[in-house]
Chains A and B, each alone.
Chain A
Amino acid sequence: MKFRYLLLTFLSVLCACNGTDNENEEEHFQDTGKGVFILNEGNYNSGNSTLSYYYPGEKRVENGIFLRSNDRKLGDTGQSMTLYNNTLFIAMENSGIVWGIDAETFRVKGQLTAAQTEHMINPRFVHIVNEGKAYVSDLYSPYITIFNPTTFRSLGSIHTGQPSANGYSSTENMVQHGNHVFTNCWSYSNKILAIDTRTDEVTDSIVLGSWQPKSMIVDARGKLWVLTDGGYHTGDESFGDNVPHLYRIDAATLEIEQDQALDTDEAGVQIAASPDKSVIYIVNNDIYRMGITDEHLPVRPFISAPTDSNGRRHKLYAIGVNPHNGEIYVADAVDYAQSGTVYRYSAQGELIDRFRTGINPNGFAFK
């Protein structure tokens, strides 16, 4: 009998220890100011992507605001953000969802999930064509998904018309010039596709000499600037020549006007434009600045990557330029498994602030 009592007492104590608290209060935010969203990619298959919000005037950052506002996780592998009409669209690649949140309260307004659509698998970028139509590019699907950015209803899809081999199915960035949206096929590809927004069809394509176009913008003169990563080289394995290239392409004629090779390194490459789109900024180890009429990137960087006490450069992971004042935001992924750091520079390249965000900050959206 004693054993029975002992056992019951022991189990009772253990039972009391097992309470778990998974409920979180939903915090209420309200900011109408010109804040900056920072998307933290997190680690693949960990579901630890987060969203940060930076108050430039106060030099203050709030991390994890999506979870704190909505009592749910943002998801796995946050890929990109697009801000349109006070709604922030966030493409969560490996979760198969595109969130739409209110840019002032950070509360969810709606979402488009893979299960709701015909072909969406891993959404990469969102491009708003107009109030009633938006495109979602995809890492794996040979379709670009069309949805209504107001109602979040799926409207169909665009077949990329590319063979399902050699990675041509992959679509990435989307930029618009006139009635055409250009999207780059990054994964094991060298193509830029042109989509006619009136017919929602791929109408043309551009083949580049360098592999894996990674990042694109359209400048003030209607020129398409494309940055490739050149593939990779590791051990005795190569894909492409591992030399990043910068292309200038006429968006109207699709003619390649300029092609310049950049320094080869294990560098992340990303491109951004100044507010008037007359200057482009490139991350390629350091930050380079170039006028859109210049023939070459300058030899010396505009901003050198921060270095540690041993002289090693930090790993720059993303760049964004504030369209309101030209301030430059640069993200350092550190070791890819801890909070990243964001550097804020003036348009003249002077450091204004630095702050810690979530894991792998990879993009900025400016209100």
Chain B
Amino acid sequence: MRKSGLILLCLIPCLAWSQKETSLQGVQVSAKRRLSDTGLQKTSLDSTQLHDNIALSMADILTRNSTLFIKNYGRATESTAEFRGTSPSHTQVTWNGMRINSPMLGTVDFSTLPAYFIDQATLYHGASSMHLTGGGLGGAVELRTLAPTDGGSSLQYIQGIGSYHTYDQFLRFSHSTPKWSSSTRIVYSTSKNNFSYVNHDKKVDIRDEAGNIIDSYHPTERNQSGYFTDIHALQDIFHNDHKGNRMGLSVWYAHHKRGLPFLSVDYKDDTDFTNEQNQNTLRSVLSWEHTAQQWKTALRGGYIYQDVAYHYSTTRQNVHTVITQSQSYTHNGYLQAEADYIPHENWMLSAKAEAYYNKVRSYDRSPFHQSENYDKGRMEYHGSLQARWRPFAPFSLAAVIREEAYGHKWVPIMPAIFADYVLYAPWKLVAKASVARNYRYPSMNDLYFKPGGNPGLEPEKGFTYDAGIEWEISRKRFQLRGNASAFDSYIKDWILWTPNTKGYWQPSNVKEVHNYGVETTLEAGLKIRKHTQASLTANYAFTPSINKGEQSGGNDASYGKQLCYVPRHSANLSARVQWKSWALQYKWVHYSERFTTTSNEVSYITGRLKPYFMSDITLEKTFRLRHLDVSVKGVVNNLFDTDYVTVLSRPMAGRNFEVFIQLKPKWEKKRKEY
């Protein structure tokens, strides 16, 4: 029994687990392979990667540290994740256990999640997302905040000053006692974001007096209407009675005021127009966990409120014209109960039940819309049973059965099976495989948005096969860890919004997509000398995402073609060298060409986006004073001033700079370990 309890403690409490790990620039070494990880393809990002600099959102972190493709067009613009070449709504995201995908869109805007507000991120690839939630046809991202690890009080302030009148401020105050801990974080970021760029999409003609063109040039323009103000405040309170009970409360308020940048082919003057989105979000999760010898139970409840206002208008010659004045209010309540039971050291059984209530009111007050978009409430129920079994030492099996319901409709049962086998224990070389059937039910916009919503939509169906290996080699001065996996996935009844002849868009279950490919990650750490260490993290993904749906007519050339905006190849690399109090970091990101048409035509210039390489470099120096740690960090983004776009007609910033100064007072701390 004692053994089982030890296993349970090792298996479940993520907090304890992460603190026990050693970390050398993201290279994590766990003491023992956990039964709960059976067959999982996952990527863990620790605070070293997440807390790189305060200007980075989770969109930037995932771009530079994972195989996900983040589609955005600059800082503070909508950033959605495409996991394994699927659509953004196929990536499910949880924060402290609560799903935070927008009930309206089914997606998450990762640009609204500052990475400094996340302490632990885990990416579950493909079928592995079934352990966390359903609907992750591409995968799932689990985000968590953790209790402060330092005893006593601590304060951290970071000031960032960057190009384009960008100012980033971060303040964190933490306090811990043996039983209680509290963390307060505030981020305030503002920027005009009015970078200049050579607009290759326009040309200015110089004419003579007769009106003949005698010369022309591509003008240098400024990014219009790209300004933003982001304010975040996060309060975490944790209580641990050291008798197996933990409680946590996390409350996160965010306000975003963002100008929506003009296209590079827009000839309007932004001083005449307001094109702005204002968003307020409140997320809160209350949790209680109880860990006993063979049991762990948890109860969680949460609530998310969000209002989003989009305003597009113009005032010229004292005439005010409102083009769009849309507003949405979302209320999202959540309850979850879960239990894990370890009857034997080689068995683990889990059950989880969740209920969400989503209430959405969406309308547009401009003259070009009629009535409300919709005003609906919807209950959603999720339940899962999981069993993990290790029949003999190197071999483990796991099975998951999920069931979900939305409104009055039930999704078919979603089963998944996982297996892994330890091939060579000294290298922790493990072979893994899984197979799963998954469903994603339609979002509320898919069903109800007026005009266009389609109440007859069916859930999207996915079937995924995964196989791969992972390894971890540790020597005295050297650590090497990595994984490689291949996947094969079929998604049917893919929901796609297409324009219709009446001038609005409508969703329908039209596509069948075959995603396949490989993903690989390599992490290495090297201690060169006493005060010198180096580390390297590299990710590569090959993600063909092929349309296999019915042709929409004899002229349809999209069959067998790569989906729009999904790169077939993506890679990133992060190298860091640390010498005493100096640290130099270089980051590199590459995406292959992306097609902008379903038929992948490249005969005209707008048919594809060119592949690009992006480099960032950071130099940091820490001064350890008697009462204060001061670190100064200089960042150069787009080091080689690459001229590129990630979305058609959306200019990107060239080389730009930001300097961060961090202050950490050294207060007297209690030495007791909590």
Q: Could you tell me which A residues sit within 8 Å of B by CB distance? A: 3, 7, 10-11, 14-15, 17-18, 20, 22-24, 42, 44-48, 50, 63-64, 67, 70-76, 92, 94-97, 107-108, 110-111, 113-115, 118-119, 121, 139-143, 164-170, 187-188, 229, 232, 234-237, 239, 266-269, 306-310, 312-315, 317, 332, 334-341, 356, 358-359
Contact = CB atoms under 8 A, between A and B. Distances in A.
A-B pairs, top 5 by smallest CB distance, nearest first, are A47-B649, A268-B501, A338-B599, A48-B606, A237-B450
B8 to A, nearest CB: 45
Nearest to A234: B451
A224 B211 CA distance: 39
A24 B368 contact: no
Given A76-B263, A187-B503, 5 more contacts: A46-B648, A115-B267, A140-B368, A188-B367, A234-B452
Interface stretch (B25-33, B242-250, B636-644): B636-644
A91 to B, nearest CB: 12
A14 B557 contact: no
B598 A141 contact: no
B597 A67 contact: no
Contacts of B448: 235
Contact of A20 (B447, B450, B642): B642
B393 interface: no
A70 B205 CA distance: 10
Given A235-B448, A235-B453, A96 B606 contact: no
Nearest to B451: A234
Contacts of A10: 586
B235 to A, nearest CB: 38
Interface of B: 198, 200-203, 205, 211, 213, 216, 218, 263-269, 272, 314, 316-317, 319, 321-323, 367-371, 447-448, 450-455, 498-504, 506, 534, 550-558, 564, 577, 584, 586, 588, 596-599, 601, 603-606, 610, 612-613, 615, 639-640, 642-644, 648-649
Given A50-B606, A121-B321, A335-B552, A115 B644 contact: no
B598 A121 contact: no
Contact of A339 (B371, B498, B586, B599): B599
B213 A96 contact: no
20 contacts: A14-B613, A22-B643, A47-B263, A47-B264, A73-B649, A92-B267, A94-B263, A94-B266, A96-B267, A115-B272, A140-B321, A140-B368, A142-B319, A187-B368, A234-B506, A266-B501, A306-B553, A307-B553, A308-B551, A308-B556
A141 B313 CA distance: 10
A142 B322 CA distance: 11
A173 B657 CA distance: 50
Contact of A234 (B317, B453, B553): B453
Contact of B606 (A14, A47, A92): A47
Given A73-B202, A76-B263, A164-B367, A266 B502 contact: yes
Given A115-B272, A315-B501, A20 B644 contact: yes
A232 B502 contact: yes
Given A48-B596, A63-B603, A96 B498 contact: no
A169 B370 CA distance: 14
Contact of B267 (A97, A234, A341): A97
Given A18-B613, A170-B368, A332-B555, A50 B586 contact: no
Nearest to A48: B606
B267 A337 contact: no
A97 B201 CA distance: 14
Contacts of A3: 534, 577
Nearest to B604: A64
A338 B502 contact: no
Contacts, number: 229
Contact of A73 (B265, B370, B564): B265
Greatest chain A CB density within 10 A among B213, B447, B588, B596 is at B596
A173 to B, nearest CB: 14
Contacts of B610: 20
B201 A113 contact: no
Contacts of A11: 586, 615, 639
Nearest to B605: A67
B498 A15 contact: no
Nearest to B202: A72
B24 to A, nearest CB: 17
A143 to B, nearest CB: 8
Contacts of B272: 114-115
A239 B218 CA distance: 45
A44 B502 CA distance: 14
A312 B597 contact: no
Given A14-B615, A46-B649, A114 B640 contact: no
Given A71-B203, A95-B263, A115-B268, A338 B598 contact: yes
Contact of A359 (B218, B500, B597): B597
A358 B604 CA distance: 9
A3 B526 CA distance: 13
Given A46-B648, A47-B649, A235 B455 contact: yes
A269 B499 CA distance: 15
A141 B272 CA distance: 13
A337 B598 contact: yes
A335 B598 contact: yes
B226 to A, nearest CB: 15
Nearest to B201: A73
Contacts of A187: 368, 503
B367 A335 contact: no
Given A140-B368, A306-B554, A358-B604, A46 B454 contact: no
B451 A232 contact: yes
A19 to B, nearest CB: 9
Nearest to A22: B200
B617 to A, nearest CB: 8
B649 A237 contact: no
Contacts of B558: 335, 337-338
Nearest to B610: A20
A169 B610 CA distance: 40
A235 B450 contact: yes
A18 B554 contact: no
Contacts of A308: 551, 553-554, 556
Given A18-B640, A121-B321, A114 B555 contact: no
Contacts of B455: 235-236
Given A76-B266, A317-B501, A14 B564 contact: no
Contact of B586 (A7, A72, A92, A121): A7
Nearest to B649: A47
A76 B262 CA distance: 11
Contact of B640 (A15, A23, A142, A358): A15
Nearest to A239: B370
A336 to B, nearest CB: 5
B200 A141 contact: no
A334 B553 CA distance: 7
Contact of B564 (A74, A232, A337): A337
B601 A338 contact: yes
A331 to B, nearest CB: 11
Contacts of A267: 501
B540 to A, nearest CB: 16
Nearest to B317: A118
A14 B640 contact: yes
Contacts of A359: 597
A114 B267 contact: yes
Nearest to A168: B367
A237 B369 CA distance: 12
B642 A76 contact: no
Contacts of B639: 11
Contacts of A23: 200
A17 to B, nearest CB: 5
A308 B447 CA distance: 29
A291 to B, nearest CB: 26
Contacts of B552: 312, 315, 334-335
A125 B422 CA distance: 69
Greatest chain A CB density within 10 A among B268, B323, B455, B596 is at B268
